Structure 1
């Protein structure tokens, strides 16, 4: 999907098809998704599915969620994604069942290679496992996996995969600060 070896100062980083599809999605987001009333979760789910997102049942994506590429999105069952969340999913983003992503969180699947002379654009998948809660304004970087039951505290930064399930992480960078009680559902 990303064009490599180009000069991003004068050349596009994505194919024409990708850029046109994103422009179409941005228009649909602006005129149909974003202004939809908060309770119309089924309407927003329909729009996401039209653009290739894979969504489970009872998915609540609020109207002010900004999604870069719905076709790179896989959301499980009983998931809530609050207003102000940014899903910058240049690569695949999977969100497991019963996950909650709170307001202002930013999941960033793309960056630049700072050792490249042209700052080559790079992207890696993000995986959010079951029962994860990403609290308000947390930042999740590309290539990260959040294990089952993890909680990422407000304004924390996660730049590498977290190791322990059912653990609360906080800080910059996020470090374990507590445990959760595991449960089945």
Structure 2
């Protein structure tokens, strides 16, 4: 997907086919996705699936959520993606069942190698477990995995994977500040 060794000042970082696919998605996003009424979750799920997203049942993706590449998106059952979120999924973003990404949160799967001669673009997946809550305006960077039940506090910066389940993390960079009570049996059938 990402071209290697190119000069980004003179040539694109992606193949023509990839750029055309993204342009088609951008048109569909602007005309049909973003303008859809808030309760039309099934319609937006249909559009995302049409572009290759793998979605569970009962997914709520709101119309002002920005999704860079639906074909790199995997959402479990009953996941909520709020208005104003950015899923910059140059690589796979996988979000487990019953997880919530709140307003203004960003999951960023791409960056640049600032030490390379050509400022090489690269991407790594982001994987969130089940029952994860990424609070408002938090930022999760590429290559991060977050265990089940973790809460990432508002405006937190997550640059490293969080392996301890059912914990609460906040700050810049995010660090553990507490434990979360596990109530999964009440939420899952």
If the TM-score is normalised by the length of the shorter chain, which range does it land in? over 0.9
Equivalence for 2:4 = 4
CA distance in 2, matches of 1:23, 1:128: 28
For residue 183 of structure 1, report the CA deviation from its aligned partner: 3.1
Matches within 5 A, 1:13-52: 13-52=13-52
Q: CA deviation at 1:181?
A: 1.2
Count of residues in correspondence between the two structures: 185
After TM superposition, the runs of 4+ consecutive aligned structure 1 residues lying more than 6 A away are: none
2:143 aligned residue: 143
SS of 2:25's equivalent? helix
SS in 1 for 2:107: strand
Task: Write the deviation string for residues 84-120 of structure 1: whole angstroms up to 9, x where unpaired.
Answer: 0000000001010000000000000000011111110
Task: Work out the CA distance in 1 between the residues paired with 2:59 and 2:17.
Answer: 29
Determine the C-alpha separation between the residues in 2 that align with 1:114 and 1:163.
Answer: 28
TM normalised by structure 2 equals 0.97
Distance in 2 separating the partners of 1:40 and 1:113? 40
Structure 1 residue 163: Cα displacement = 2.2
Measure the CA separation in 2 of the matches of 1:60 and 1:19: 27
Partners in 1 of 2:78 and 2:138 — Cα distance? 21
For 1:160, what is the secondary structure of its paired residue?
coil
Aligned equivalents of 1:73 and 1:119: distance in 2? 26
Residue number in structure 1 paired with 2:81:
81
Q: Corresponding residue for 1:112?
A: 112
- Trace 1:156-167 onto structure 2 (pairs within 5 A): 156-167=156-167
In the superposition, the TM-score normalised over structure 1's length comes to: 0.99
Aligned with 1:111: secondary structure?
A: strand
State the superposition RMSD in angstroms: 0.6
- Provide the rounded CA distance (Å) in 2 between the counterparts of 1:163 and 1:38: 34
Task: Show structure 1 runs of 5+ residues with no match.
Answer: none
Matches within 5 A, 1:66-77: 66-77=66-77
**Structure 1 residues 155-180: Cα deviation after superposition (integer angstroms, max 9, x where no partner):** 00001111211000000000000001
Inter-partner Cα distance in structure 1 for 2:145 and 2:183:
20
